[in-house]
Amino acid sequence: MEDKQQATPRPNRRGYLNPHTVRAVSFWTTSACILVAVVASLLAIWQFAGTDILWRTVATCVVIGGGTVAFYVINVLFDKSTD
């Protein structure tokens, strides 16, 4: 049984944190930002919200979405494997 465990190679992981988890969090955070920006835009178009609120909301979503994407890229750059 020990031979089977030793013969099975471990998959190479890239990144300091689990890249699948970071990718999932980045995807859902960016998707939520896009949804909030679209809703804010629709509210501004139908004049339920002012344009000042629209631009602040869109700018906040861009910053948060860009930050999560940047975090994912930086996580991939830091490789834990030692070649």
Q: Which two tokens stand for residue 63?
A: 């910053």
Q: Which residue has the higher pLDDT, 21 or 6?
A: 21
Global confidence as pTM: 0.66
pLDDT at position 63: 93
The pLDDT, as a whole number, for residue 6 is 61
Task: Name the residue ranges covered by the structural domains of the chain.
Answer: 14-77
Mean pLDDT of the chain: 80
Please, what's the largest Cα pairwise distance for the chain? 69
pLDDT at 7: 59
Candidates 38, 33, 40, 35; CA nearest to 68 is 33
User: What is the arithmetic mean of pLDDT over 26-41?
Assistant: 89
Structure tokens at 30: 């960016």
